[in-house]
Structure 1
Amino acid sequence: MLSTLIAFLGACTLIAAAPGPSTVLIIRHSLAGKRAGLMTVLGNETGIFIWGLVAAFGLTGLLAASEVAYNVMRITGAVVLVGFGVQTLRSARRAKREGGGEEPGTEAEEAVDPAPRAPGSGRRSYRAGLVMNLANPKAAVFALSFLPQFVPSGAPKLPTMVVLAAVWAVYEIGYYSLYVWCVSRMKGLLSRAVVRRRMEQVSGGVLVALGVRMAVEG
């Protein structure tokens, strides 16, 4: 079981390290502060655990077997991604307008904050992470194909897969928390509105591109 767990955590590391929409969203919300970033991570990992449970009960097999169901989720996920991307780009554009053309480093620019800091942004960040993950059909199909590979021979499948799903989610909380920490350590640079606005533009463009890719691929 120990060797299986080590191999499983190694695989989890490779999965987390692969760039994807969740990574972009976590970094984007981390610009608002540690709380928003961590809540996005928690939302994303709640989605991971839910897909793990669904896979444990074999329900994601229906999604993998049904082309119609998969395509519905794929289009839904694409709409969600594009929606997040457009929202981010609009936020960056609004911040630029409010900056009033001031030079970087001026008092007016430092007051501009395109990232969400309004009350309740923690709840919104959690919901964004959760929705992002649950709207991705690839996450569901991947959980179905990934978790069963690490169930030891002779072990009860359902409880073992539930435990593995929990380990997967907890491990990724720790992993993605490093992203949040790195962003917070760069606060001096990222607090400059011009830098944050550029990051918003890049992350928004990436999310839109990922959404379009999900919509057009089979």
Structure 2
Amino acid sequence: MLDNLAALVAASFLIALSPGPGTALVLRQSVRGRRGALATVAGMEVAVACWAVAAALGVSVLLTASEVAFHTLRIIGAVFLVHLGVKALLSAGGRTPPTTEEPTTRAFRSGLIVNLANPKLGVFAISFLPQFVPADGAGKGVLLLFALVWVLVDTLWYLVVVSVLHRLRTWLSRPRVRRTLETASGGVLVVLGARLVLTPRW
């Protein structure tokens, strides 16, 4: 059991390291302020927890069985990513990048929607978590425990990212740097949104 848990922690950490919509969104929020970035992480992890628990309980299997549900979520997620990306690009295009921090409720909602409207996260949870359950595991109880571990590791990683970016706040506050980061994160979000639509289901 401990070996399986250690393998899960290591794999979860490697997955968290891989860049994706969440990383781009946290970077964009960190440029504006720490509270918004933390609220974004909270929203993202609530969504990850929903997918993880759904996978542990077998609910997300319905997603793989329903073409309509999968593609509906995929389109919603893609549109929202593009929307966030375009906002960032428009913001970067201004003469002076905005210095006001986004309200925490809006930041939380952005993080929640980005991960909740990503059907591939649900499909990934279905294929990822069961791999680490011991042959003599206690079924759903062990899966729920492992789902919690996955969420905790993912949360810790993003908290480290936010902490590091906060320490660089003085440098990030420079208009030229802010504009560059807004442009980079906006472009990444638009590309990821387009890829979510164009990439075939797996």
Question: Please, what is the CA RMSD of the aligned residues?
Answer: 1.4
Structure 1 segments unaligned to the other structure (5+ residues): 100-112
Deviations 1:66-94 (A, max 9, x none): 22321121111111110111111122223
Name the counterpart of 1:105.
none
By how many angstroms is 1:217 displaced? 1.8
Match of 1:66 in 2: 66
Give 1:117's aligned residue: 101
Q: Is the 8 A contact 1:147 1:164 kept in 2?
A: yes
The aligned runs of 1:84-95 (5 Å cut-off) are 84-94=84-94
Conserved 8 A contact 1:77-1:136? yes
When residues 70 and 139 of structure 1 are mapped into structure 2, their CA distance, relative to the original with a 3 A threshold, is same
| Partner residue of 1:179 out of 145, 149, 161 | 161
Equivalent position of 2:34 in the other structure: 34
Amino acid at match of 2:34: K
- Aligned to 1:148, the other structure's residue is in SS state helix
The normalised TM-score by structure 1 is 0.87
Name the SS of the counterpart of 1:80 in structure 2. helix
Select 1:200's aligned residue among 167, 182, 188: 182
Amino acid at match of 2:3: S
Distance in 1 separating the partners of 2:195 and 2:152: 29
Q: Tell whether the 8 Å contact from 1:29 to 1:115 is kept in structure 2 after alignment.
A: no
Gap change, CA 1:115 and 1:48, over 3 Å in 2:
farther
Normalised to the residue count of structure 2, the TM-score between the two structures is 0.93
Letter in 2 for 1:149: Q
1:81–1:210 Cα contact (<8 Å) kept: yes
Query: d(CA) in 2 for partners of 1:2 and 1:178?
Result: 25
How many pairs are equivalent? 200
Counterpart mapping for 1:1-218 below 5 A = 1-94=1-94, 96=95, 99=96, 113-114=97-98, 116-118=100-102, 121-218=103-200
Paired with 1:34 and 1:167, the residues of 2 have a C-alpha distance of 25
Residue 19 of structure 1: SS of its match in structure 2?
A: coil
Give CA deviations for 1:166-193 in whole Å, capped at 9, x if unaligned.
1111111111111111111111211111
Instruction: Answer with 1 or 2: which has the greater Rg.
Output: 1
**SS of aligned partner of 1:31:** helix
Q: CA deviation at 1:65?
A: 2.2
| Structure 2 residue aligned with 1:103 | none
